[in-house]
Amino acid sequence: MWVKICGMTTGEAVEAALAAQVDAIGFVFAASSRRVSATAASALAAPVRGRIHCIAVTQHPSQQLVDELLEEFHPDALQIDMEDLSGLRLPQSLALLPVLRAGRAPPERIPPRLLFEGPVSGVGQSCDWTAARNLARRAELILAGGLTQSTVAAAISEVRPFGVDVSSGVEDRPGIKSPEKIMGFAAAARAAFRALRGPRAPDEEPSS
């Protein structure tokens, strides 16, 4: 049961994510209405460091950008498309969240944890849930793409992922998160994950 809210741009969104007790928040460093600088991301993340994983979200980054993020933002993990990994120098200590996009053939060696989403990030486009379900049997899969408070339960039931990731689905407008939608999404996701586990067995009566 792992929940990430991606595309943080305001302190209010970060505070809402903390209040919703999500596991991770993402800061976008790629072309997007949600793009922030390393300096801005550091300031936004400062109040929640150590309580929420702060993830640097990239797509086709240059080595210069990666070096800047490591020096100024100090991410808990780097989210990056799988095909971008081979061209970069990354410290072995850096945690990675590899991204596989729907419609692309998975690599022969599946990483133990990966994020699976649609062809384009942050546009509310659902990914292939059938392909996601197949991958979720082989790795800890984090499902992204087109999720909202009203669709996340069905997605979790169908795919049975390790976690879920949302961005546009909790926004009032592109780049501006709704605290209420963040809270609602996190609650709906957790309820759906609990439903997968089924009801708890009642406590056994003490023996006489």
pLDDT tens digit sequence for 61-78: 999 999 999 999 999 999
Residue 14 confidence (pLDDT) above 60: yes
CATH architecture observed for domain 2-197 = Alpha-Beta Barrel (3.20)
When mean pLDDT is compared across 38-47, 95-104, 153-162, 194-203, the lowest value belongs to 194-203
Question: Over pLDDT 90: what percentage of the chain?
Answer: 80
Strand runs labelled E in the chain: 2-6, 24-28, 53-57, 77-81, 96-101, 113-117, 140-144, 163-166, 171-173, 176-177
Residues with Cβ within 8 Å of 179's Cβ and at least 6 positions away in sequence, in order, are 12, 13, 15, 16, 19
DSSP helix/strand/coil, 82: helix
7 token code pair: 């595309």
Band the pLDDT of 36: cuts 50, 70, 90: very high
Strand pairing class (176-177; 171-173): antiparallel
At residue 124, the pLDDT reads 58
At residue 37, the pLDDT reads 97
Average confidence (pLDDT) over 197-207 = 52
Q: How far apart are CA 98 and CA 121, in angstroms?
A: 14
Q: What burial class does residue 86 get, using C-beta atoms within 10 Å of its C-beta: 0-12 exposed, 13-18 middle, 19+ buried?
A: exposed
Evaluate the CA torsion angle 128, 129, 130, 135 in order and state its sign.
positive
**How many other CB atoms are there within 10 angstroms of residue 116's CB atom?**
27
Residue 119 confidence (pLDDT) above 90: no
Domain ranges of the chain: 2-197
146 token code pair: 């087109």
At residue 122, the pLDDT reads 57
Average confidence (pLDDT) over 45-58 = 97
Q: Whole-structure pTM over 0.85, yes or no?
A: yes
Residue 167 confidence (pLDDT) above 50: yes
Q: What are phi and psi of 20, to 5 degrees?
A: -80, -5
Tell me, rounded to whole angstroms, the distance of Cα 180 from its chain centroid.
18
Could you identify the residue written with the tokens 């609990």?
A: 194
Q: What is the DSSP letter of 35?
A: B
At residue 204, the pLDDT reads 40
Residue/partner pairs of 77-81 with CB below 8 Å, 24 or more apart? 77/24, 77/53, 79/26, 79/55, 79/115
